[in-house]
Amino acid sequence: MKISVIGTGYVGLVSGACFAQMGNSVKCVDIDEAKIENLKNGILPIYEPGLEEMVIENYRKGSLEFTTDIESAIASSSIAFIAVGTPMGEDGSADLQYVLAVAKSIGQYMQNSMIIVDKSTVPVGTADKVYDTIQQELQQRGLDLSFEVVSNPEFLKEGAAIQDFMHPDRVVIGASSDNAMETMHSLYAPFMKTRDRFIGMDIKSAEMTKYAANAMLATKISFMNEMSNICERVGADINKVRNGIGSDTRIGYSFIYPGCGYGGSCFPKDVQALAKTAKDYGYTPRILDAIEAVNRDQKSVMSTKVINYFGEDLSDKTFAVWGLSFKPETDDMREASSLVIIDALTSRGAKIVAYDPKARKEAEEYYLKDNSNISYVESKYEALKGADGVILITEWQEFRSPDFDEMKKLLKTPLFFDGRNQFDKDRMKKLGFEYFQIGVK
């Protein structure tokens, strides 16, 4: 199939590369000329395991193209995916200006019947707005071209996006005709050879499914973090509680790890957008509001532990920070807990020496560059030299089995604040560390 993917961010680039991998002819479009030139040269704007190799391979074969020419891309495609950002507005709603701008361009340039696919995460009712925008442009051109708008929400986990796309546990499609549903089923059939995981439904239900899924996962995280705060106060151990409840198959172990809050491009934005939608329709989403409130407070728990230990004045203290990205296997720092923790400590005078395997550039260039109390190093041990303690924020694999003897030699004091509960408290004590976790008194 001939496909255009508008937007070369996380979703668009992964989708385009994976569709090309299956033999489709894909044109990825972006208005950012520098980004497009970099992609042509194999330089990606994001880090995602396996993506760079797939992009380079398919670009060399000619099945994957990169262009700023949206007109030619639309004119030559039978399916166009809208995969641009939907940033959160000041009121918590999803900002649809980029989605509708693409819809307008599609209406201006389409030359034949098309299927337009909303791949961006959008609130219920967006497909109707996209349809109306395209139809208005066609009317202005005096054309009567048939087209359909389909909802195809993405469920990619950052750090495992290629695996998720190539071997999906479900493909959700919202469409209003058998033709559109059958076309989308054919497009995704190569990804589901062992078992058909195609789930068809109406458009509004598909739009809602994405928000509901992320809200459910965010609920589990905030629930466990709330339990961890209760555990600390009553003297229970959240790690043992997690084992106790996770063994119940109705609950399971996924997304019930306590920590210092969730971040990223999806959960924070989607929970707030869904809450805003509910309120727009006259419903007060009490659970959604609580999820967001718990997560917001949870990001301050680890810095509070440090401040309670040392006091409000941290002007003579230096802390090593392990991990900056919002989760492992990505360089994404959007809504990362590290931003809140580091800001709380440096605002009290602390010096931070930070190490992250992939997110240093993101942190340095876009988020923390103006904070003179932060420096960046190239290894986890380099960050420890002369530090008053180490704070683990992101659970990268290389932090799981460090040389604890080496750590004690490098640290000024063997003090470990673990924001992801990676280690056993009793073992850490035997190793000579003063050790603080989430949800353990």
Q: What is the pLDDT of residues 335-388, one digit of tens each?
A: 999 999 999 999 999 999 999 999 999 888 766 667 889 999 999 999 999 999
Q: Indicate the class that CATH gives domain 2-201.
A: alpha beta
Furthest C-alpha separation in the chain: 78
What pTM, to 2 d.p., does this model score?
0.90
Say if residues 266 and 121 touch (Cβ distance below 8 Å): yes
Cα separation, 129 vs 142, whole angstroms? 20
**Count of C-beta atoms within a 10 Å radius of residue 108:** 15
Is the predicted pLDDT of residue 421 greater than 90, yes or no?
Answer: yes
* Cβ neighbours for 291, distance < 8 A, ≥ 6 positions apart: 215, 218, 219, 222, 271
Catalytic positions: 266
Mean pLDDT (the chain) is 95
Domain 2-201 and domain 299-436 have a common topology: yes
Cα 123–129–133 angle (5° rounding)? 145
Q: What pLDDT shows up at residue 368?
A: 66
Query: Residue ranges of the domains in the chain?
Result: 2-201, 211-297, 299-436
Say if residues 335 and 324 touch (Cβ distance below 8 Å): no
Would you identify the CATH topology of the domain 211-297?
N-(1-d-carboxylethyl)-l-norvaline Dehydrogenase; domain 2 (1.10.1040)
Which pLDDT band, with edges at 50, 70 and 90, does 441 fall under? confident
**327: nearest Cα among 255, 227, 413:** 255
DSSP 237: B
Is the predicted pLDDT of residue 183 greater than 80, yes or no?
Answer: yes
Is the predicted pLDDT of residue 177 greater than 80, yes or no?
Answer: yes
Superfamily of domain 299-436: NAD(P)-binding Rossmann-like Domain (3.40.50.720)
Q: Which two tokens stand for residue 357?
A: 């395997």
**pLDDT 10s digits, 65-118:** 999 999 999 999 999 999 999 988 878 888 999 999 999 999 999 999 999 999
Average the pLDDT over 229-254 and give the result. Answer: 96
Cα separation, 149 vs 141, whole angstroms? 19
Percent of the chain with pLDDT over 70: 99
**pLDDT 10s digits, 259-289:** 999 999 889 999 999 999 999 999 999 999 9
What phi and psi, each to the nearest 5 degrees, are found at residue 434? -90, 120
Cα–Cα distances in Å, from 416 out to 341, 365, 434, 435?
15, 28, 6, 5
Which pLDDT band, with edges at 50, 70 and 90, does 412 fall under? very high
Q: What pLDDT shows up at residue 366?
A: 66
Say if residues 34 and 40 touch (Cβ distance below 8 Å): no
